[in-house]
């Protein structure tokens, strides 16, 4: 199968995914207290494509991902999901649009944010009942199926405190998947987890990628990015400095800063 070569500066050939654009951000800018953290970031994500975002800490990666889900409101730029404009700077942000966006775009954070007083099953079921109006039976069935998929069938009735960090993060992934998103955003999902537990989370993400989920993954795990991503974007100082295939970005970076970052971390 051959895929079309993407035009403009979007990073060369698209290795996987279809021609259809799932999500795109154009010229996203964001300042906090007068300090510009994002200086015009554009990214086009094709259906089924997996893009890894790497870069030094403080460079704006989380802010960018949060803007994509409108957890932060960009000061400038626009965002489209599945061909529909969900944000355009200057236009009022409607609550109904934000809710629709969050159903289509799931997010997994560095901290798992599970409800401590609920079991794994309940954590995965709750949003389905409240956001999608699924019945208890229906949402519990779906939750069980998803918890099995992330390897937690033995733990569905446990509370977060009885689970390791890696297990909690897999519950969080199941919870995001339970809303049947079209795109998944991951913001350093393994950075708060003990090293020996990280691999199980990365395996779940790899399996999701192989299943064809469209994903943007901020990660400091460069080997994982190399293996799981179709394209890698290097962000520094609030700008995409370089974007391309893992072979290009890791193997022969064009940008001196990318080279220094990749050399230092690997
Ligand atoms: P990264 O995820 O690449 O480490 P962030 O997007 O978290 O970077 O942060 C980029 C910069 O924006 C940092 O200097 C950070 O302190 C600042 N920042 C992020 N969120 C906020 C906020 N809500 N208020 C003020 N400053 C923020
Ligand atoms: Mg971050």
pLDDT band at 6 (very low <50, low <70, confident <90, very high): very low
User: What are 243's two structure tokens?
Assistant: 């974007």
pTM, full prediction: 0.92
CA of 64 to the centre of ligand 1 (A): 9
CA of 63 to the centre of ligand 1 (A): 6
Q: Residue 172: which of 181, 183, 160 has the closest Cα?
A: 160
260 has pLDDT over 60:
yes
The ligand 1 atom at the shortest distance from the C-alpha of residue 64 is 6
- pLDDT tens by residue, 66-124: 999 999 999 999 999 999 999 999 999 999 889 999 999 999 999 999 999 999 999 99
User: What are 166's two structure tokens?
Assistant: 């890696």
As to burial, measured by CB atoms within 10 angstroms (0-12 exposed, 13-18 middle, 19+ buried), residue 254 is exposed
Whole-complex ipTM: 0.98
pLDDT band at 265 (very low <50, low <70, confident <90, very high): confident
Give every CB contact of residue 63 below 8 A, 6+ residues apart in sequence. 30, 37, 38, 72
Cβ of 61 closer than 6 Å to ligand 1, yes or no, is: yes
Give every CB contact of residue 251 below 8 A, 6+ residues apart in sequence. none
pLDDT score recorded for residue 136: 96
């Amino acid at each position: 199968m051959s895929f079309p070569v993407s035009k403009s500066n979007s990073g060369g050939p698209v290795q996987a995914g279809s021609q259809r654009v799932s999500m795109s951000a154009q010229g996203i800018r964001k300042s906090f207290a007068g300090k510009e953290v994002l200086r015009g970031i554009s990214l086009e994500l094709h259906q089924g494509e997996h893009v890894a975002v790497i870069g030094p800490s403080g460079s704006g990666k989380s802010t960018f991902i949060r803007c994509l889900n409108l957890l932060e409101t960009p000061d400038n730029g626009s965002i489209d999901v599945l061909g529909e404009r969900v944000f355009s700077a200057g236009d009022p942000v409607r609550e109904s649009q934000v809710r629709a966006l969050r159903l289509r775009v799931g997010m997994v954070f560095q901290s798992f944010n599970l409800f401590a007083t609920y079991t794994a099953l309940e954590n995965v079921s709750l949003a389905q009942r409240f956001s999608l109006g699924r019945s208890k039976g229906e949402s519990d069935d779906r939750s069980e199926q998803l918890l099995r998929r992330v390897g937690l069938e033995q733990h569905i009735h446990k509370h977060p405190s009885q689970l390791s960090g890696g297990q909690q993060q897999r519950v969080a992934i199941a919870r995001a998947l339970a809303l049947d998103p079209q795109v998944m955003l991951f913001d350093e999902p393994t950075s708060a987890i003990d090293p020996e537990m990280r691999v199980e989370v990365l395996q779940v993400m790899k399996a999701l990628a192989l299943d064809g989920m469209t994903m943007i993954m901020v990660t400091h795990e460069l080997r994982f990015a190399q293996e799981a991503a179709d394209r890698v974007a290097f962000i520094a100082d609030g700008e995409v400095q370089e974007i391309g295939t893992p072979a290009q970005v890791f193997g022969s970076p064009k940008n001196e800063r990318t080279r220094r970052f990749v050399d230092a971390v690997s």
